[in-house]
């Protein structure tokens, strides 16, 4: 990561968003397991090695909150996609009035992240928890990608932004991203907490991401302004 300490921290986030937010189930319809299952079956049908190992490429919150048991993890690079805050979050870490933002992979460039090798022999059972988490809100599309690691390339499932969905923002400036993240909070907590935990995970792994580093500094500035106005 760029040199220096994180400007964002958990205490600042808590002081800027002290009040809990109630869940609004109408803010985002979630697909059921029965609706999700055919898509997962299609993804599994397109595996190049059906009997091989199952890998998932993580680039955001899956780094600090994986939905699966894993036997191995490797830092690696995916080419053809880059990580951006480009997916609206009207529930969980935002509201319809003040939607937050979460990360997704968008077209072009490259992305450093972590490839996880999942435990278990039943691919469908191993992948369903993460498939449910990422796909139930219609914000992502599953994609098999090649992940280059120091110990060779692996084929992994990852989640790219659904550009046809109404949650896709297109490319926002860092200032626009920071404004949305700083102001948003849902029943799972502030959007800024998602950012903080993600950028802290990258710092621990030694992964450089100037976009995230710049955004966290801008969000910290806005949160300090918010705290000073309510003091």
CATH of domain 10-226: 3.10.490.10
Is-contact 192 183, C-beta < 8 A? no
Domain positions in the chain: 10-226
Backbone angles phi, psi at 26, to 5 degrees: -80, -10
pTM greater than the 0.85 cutoff: yes
28 three-class SS = coil
Catalytic site positions: 134
The span from the CA of 147 to the CA of 228, in Å, is: 44
The pLDDT tens digits along the chain (231 residues) read: 556 789 999 999 999 999 999 999 999 999 999 999 999 999 999 988 877 889 999 999 999 999 888 999 999 999 999 999 999 999 999 999 999 999 999 999 999 999 999 987 788 999 999 999 999 999 999 999 999 999 999 999 999 999 999 999 999 999 999 999 999 999 999 999 999 999 999 999 999 899 999 999 999 999 999 999 776
CA distance linking residue 27 with residue 159, whole number of Å: 22
Angle ∠(86,199,74) on CA atoms, nearest 5:
100
Question: Which residues pair with residue 158 across a beta bridge?
Answer: 143
* CB 137 within 8 Å of CB 28: yes
3-state secondary structure of 177: helix
């Amino acid at each position: 990561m760029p040199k220096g300490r994180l400007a964002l921290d958990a205490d600042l986030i808590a002081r800027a968003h002290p009040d809990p937010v109630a869940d609004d189930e109408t803010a985002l319809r979630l697909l059921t397991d029965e609706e999700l299952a055919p898509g997962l079956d299609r993804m599994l049908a397109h595996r190049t090695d059906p009997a091989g190992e199952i890998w998932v490429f993580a680039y955001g919150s899956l780094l600090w909150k994986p939905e699966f048991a894993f036997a191995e993890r490797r830092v690696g690079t995916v080419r053809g996609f880059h990580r951006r805050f480009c997916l609206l979050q009207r529930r969980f870490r935002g509201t319809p009035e003040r939607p937050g933002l979460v990360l997704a992979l968008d077209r072009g460039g490259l992305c450093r992240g972590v490839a996880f090798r999942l435990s278990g022999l039943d691919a469908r059972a191993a992948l369903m928890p993460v498939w449910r988490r990422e796909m139930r809100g219609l914000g992502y599309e599953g994609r098999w990608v090649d992940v280059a690691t120091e110990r060779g390339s692996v084929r992994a499932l990852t989640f790219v932004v659904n550009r046809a969905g109404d949650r896709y923002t297109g490319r926002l400036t860092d200032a626009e991203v920071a404004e949305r993240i700083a102001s948003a909070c849902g029943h799972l907590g502030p959007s800024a907490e998602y950012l903080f935990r993600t950028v802290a995970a990258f710092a621990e792994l030694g992964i450089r991401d100037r976009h995230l580093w710049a955004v966290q500094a801008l969000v910290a500035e806005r949160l300090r302004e918010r705290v000073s106005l309510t003091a």
